Structure 1
């Protein structure tokens, strides 16, 4: 039994070390900036589609809000469709015009896209 306890203690220490060290290794890898995202999306259709899907998701949220008779996030003109190129151009203009957005982390892209759509298509 004493060997079992020693083995279990070592096992717990290894698990604890992995739990403590793994997040540090993940954090050591720096997240791309918005500027990086826009630059890369111009060359990478998958990234461009990701931006487009975010725009489409926001349009679906608007559709849902409309059904529920609630205020919309933004009011794009009837018949307007935001293409992948449009979505990239919208977010690229935000990045170009704002130093803060340019240096912000890319995971905040949906927030910046929403802000751009609200600014572009106010209600």
Structure 2
């Protein structure tokens, strides 16, 4: 049940990103669900491999290269998703992934408080 709730809230976070930033477009809630699933899969499967492979660059940049990896995962998900989820270039992916991370953090914090009753 928690996994489905997290998936739905991730889709809502993507819709918020598309609303706040014009570099990211989402055509429908269904497209947001698919995009959230793809972002989650990319982050679970591809991102750890990229983090290990780029560890020297990440160390040299004091961890800032992780932002580039997050943007690439965001952009890759839009490429896989098709026309329902569109990211207009790398810089849009970077800004979109930052917004997505912040909004997801806020949503998860609020839902954690609601579920725990605090």
TM-score normalized by the length of structure 2: 0.33
**Higher helix content, 1 or 2:** 2
Q: Find the structure with the greater CA-based Rg.
A: 1
**Higher strand content, 1 or 2:** 2
